[in-house]
Chain A
Amino acid sequence: MSRIIKSLVVPAHPHPYLCPDANQGWANIRAGFDEARRQIEESDADLLIIYSTLWPSIIGHQIISDPNPEWIFVDHDFHDLGSIPYSLNIDAQFAKDWDAANKARGLQSRCVNYHGFPIDGGSVVALKLLNPDNRIPAVICSSNVYANRAETTVLAKACTDAVEASGKKAIAVVIMSMSNRMFTQPVSPDEDAIHSLKDDEWNQKILEFLGEGRLEDLAQLSRTIQGQIRVQKVVSFKPMWWLSAINGQHNNFNGQVLAYEALHGAGGAVVVLDPSEGGIGDKEFDEDDVENYLGDRNVLDAVTEDSIVIEEQSLAEFDSLVLKTLAKEESGPELWQGTEGENLVNTDAAPKPVGPYPHARRIGDLLYLSGVGPRQAQTNSIPGGPIKDENGTPLDYDIEAQTRACIENIKVILEASGSGIDKVLDVTSFLVDMDRDFKGYNKVYSEYFQDVGATRTTLAVRALPTPIAVELKVIASL
């Protein structure tokens, strides 16, 4: 049973909030928002997850983690309609969890917690209208300018990881126009209409799909829709990829189109999708599914000839090539596939072993984890930086970042094994510089294990196999 209990599509313009009475269509959209709000209030949701096409990002995806962002929003185009002061209730812990889940699946990601950060207008309007009393905490994620279907799909799956781990019941909200071509001249409110008949006909088709609950089918048409009725603005038509993936990529929804009207020529709709047991059926056609983002634009570092060949490799060859490439880039020990076998657990979301062992082993009701460091699953990079370069020259590093990454890796393995961090019984920690690092390590450790009650032993060791400063070994219950 998915923990995404409802999904919404809502428009991005400020008109329904600032001046709904100026145009009957804007009033209809406002009424659609009001009905959606009523349904949200009747649900037992405890989290609103927003994916906004009005917040473009370049360096991966960004997630608001300021627990209470406050400012005044003014639209760049429609500034004459008025200002929207806002004070939002953000689930900062969930934002951090989603960020960690993104990284575990190979995505670039970061949390944003700065006073005065400009929350995008679409998110502000949606939260004002759907959650006016801030009763339900929200989280807001950007839409990456360069992200393709794979990256957007993995972003949604990572969010699902975080939702599942949190135990929350969530409502997913995408902020977008249908057709997005506005009039380029001022028009009076009573002259507003969809920009063209062609745009209107495509919008009607999109709404027909949504009304029938055919979300995955619509996601498969995203590129076509972008080409037919979308002006190439900063962010292209990606929200259906995200929304379908966060729901498990199917067509089984009860769809309600609560409103569809023109917003200065663009198509704005309020749509609610409720998961259902049956529906229109499974996907009519399919694209490759993706679980982890392997990156396609690693332009920051030199690209080797080896990596150019990747697209032409079979999956098995590809895995092998990645392992070799990673090992070569890091100049560290050879990376291994986790040992397979009965009761053995391995996950692609955790760093590759450096020897012939699994990530974890189940024995009865107990789970034994191999030693886990901070290396990242797909990139083999070390958050907080390595402790030395390939010549052995010591480097400055961040023990808190390393410890956090280490424990996040442990969480991933525990969850892949059917356990969790709250079930950890015993921890053995290894530090390569006790004097320097114990304080920082202990600080982060306490964030995760304060209330767990696990026993712990911390040892100083001369070195670890990779250039890391900390490694943890864990025993947990199942």
Chain B
Amino acid sequence: MGGGKIVAGIIAPHPPHLIYAENPPQNEPKSEGGWEQLRWGYERMRESLEEVDYDVIVILSPHWQTYVGTHFLGVENFKSLSVDPVFPNLFRFNYDMQVDIELAKAIHDQAEADGMAVKMMENPDFRVDYGTIVSCHLTRPDWDKPIVSISSNRSRHYYSVEVMQEMMMQLGESTRKAIEASGKRVLLIASNSLSHRHFTTESAIPEDMSKEHITSHAMHLWDMRILDLMREGKTQQVVDEMPEFIEQAISENDGGSLTWMFSALEMPTYSPLMHGYGTIIGTGNVIMEWQHEKKGGI
């Protein structure tokens, strides 16, 4: 077929607090708001993406953790209740999502041909991870685009950050090749925070913003360093510094989603749109958009 392209890539963090604060009808707990800086950032990104024509969302979430290869959702429709195992008081979300099995299988097959261990997830009883749900909902609340959901292979834990990055660089290339061959216009989502040191206590009112801040100054400095590099278009340097960033800031990028997206975008050197930065239960989060088609990407 050919003619497919990645039209944009975004970092879309997935803390369930943002859904809780938004009060969408699908979520059972209700709040008085909170985390507005990030929610306004998501608003700006959604407005920006209104100008982007895409057929499907491809997301890699660190909360579908697999140890035996990389897995892909392979059931056409998932409709169920997602309850966050860590913050069940905040996130009990009724989801109904369509999966682009054709594209999922195409990426799966391409990655397999490129030497990776992969598996399609075809069990209809499977519960989609909350990271995928949160990032997809906040990016596209109408849920009117089909999704390809890719698991996070925990090769960092088994080997090293370097091995993880090699695998994610390969997965990014495989993803790009499969998308180009598919004829589809695709939005990529890297679903992750930056620094990832949580508070271990929770306010009596979770959305009490007088209690929200970064866990430490060191975490803030690391987040700002990585943000600056990304804003300057130095994605290769971000990948190069990733091992230290992950070690020092306990970064959630150890799940591989950012490296995967940068690889799929062929290590972009243009400046992304900065939609927002904020902390959630102490972790650092950014919402950022690489306008790939507009900036002359594939």
A residues touching B (Cβ–Cβ < 8 Å)?
A: 55-60, 62, 72, 74, 76-80, 82-83, 108, 110, 112, 114-118, 120, 144, 146, 181-186, 231-234, 264, 297-301, 385
CB–CB A108/B200 < 8 A:
yes
Shortest CB distance A179–B (Å) = 12
CB–CB B117/A184 < 8 A:
yes
B85 at the interface (CB under 8 A from A): yes
With most chain B CB atoms within 10 A of its CB, the pick from A79, A83, A234 is: A79
CB–CB A299/B123 < 8 A:
no
Interface string of B191-225 (1 = CB under 8 A from A): 00000001111111000000100011000000000
CB–CB A233/B157 < 8 A:
yes
CB–CB A117/B83 < 8 A:
yes
| B residues less than 8 Å from A112 (CB atoms) | 88
**A203–B125 alpha-carbon span in the complex (Å):** 34
Known: A57-B86, A184-B158, A233-B154. A80 touches B123 (CB 8 A): yes
CB–CB A184/B86 < 8 A:
no
**A420–B154 alpha-carbon span in the complex (Å):** 50
CB–CB A74/B88 < 8 A:
no
**A124–B105 alpha-carbon span in the complex (Å):** 31
The chain A residue sitting closest to B93, CB to CB, is A116
B residues touching A (Cβ–Cβ < 8 Å)?
A: 64-69, 71, 81-83, 85-89, 92, 117, 119, 121-123, 125-127, 129, 151, 153-155, 157-158, 198-204, 211, 215-216, 281-282
CB–CB B83/A118 < 8 A:
yes
| B residues less than 8 Å from A299 (CB atoms) | 199-201, 215-216, 282
State the main secondary structure of chain A at its contact with B.
loop
State the main secondary structure of chain B at its contact with A.
loop
The chain B residue sitting closest to A384, CB to CB, is B204
Q: Which 10 residue pairs spanning A and B have beta carbons closest together?
A: A83-B125, A116-B81, A79-B123, A300-B201, A72-B125, A74-B126, A116-B83, A117-B83, A59-B202, A74-B125
The chain A residue sitting closest to B121, CB to CB, is A79
CB–CB A186/B117 < 8 A:
yes
CB–CB A298/B122 < 8 A:
no
CB–CB B157/A231 < 8 A:
yes
**A297–B199 alpha-carbon span in the complex (Å):** 8
Shortest CB distance B108–A (Å) = 13
| B residues less than 8 Å from A183 (CB atoms) | 68
Across the interface, B66 reaches (CB within 8 A) one of A76, A231, A298, namely A76
**A301–B211 alpha-carbon span in the complex (Å):** 7
| B residues less than 8 Å from A184 (CB atoms) | 67-69, 117, 153, 155, 158
**A297–B129 alpha-carbon span in the complex (Å):** 29
CB–CB A59/B88 < 8 A:
no
CB–CB B85/A118 < 8 A:
yes
Shortest CB distance B29–A (Å) = 9
| B residues less than 8 Å from A301 (CB atoms) | 211
**A113–B65 alpha-carbon span in the complex (Å):** 25
| A residues less than 8 Å from B155 (CB atoms) | 184
**A80–B119 alpha-carbon span in the complex (Å):** 9
Shortest CB distance A116–B (Å) = 4
**A301–B151 alpha-carbon span in the complex (Å):** 36
CB–CB B122/A77 < 8 A:
no
Known: A117-B83, A118-B127, A120-B85. A80 touches B122 (CB 8 A): yes
CB–CB B154/A59 < 8 A:
no
The chain A residue sitting closest to B206, CB to CB, is A59
CB–CB B64/A146 < 8 A:
no
Task: List 8 A-B residue pairs with CB atoms under 8 Å apart, sorted by A's residue number.
Answer: A62-B88, A74-B123, A76-B129, A77-B68, A115-B83, A184-B69, A184-B155, A186-B69
The chain B residue sitting closest to A84, CB to CB, is B125
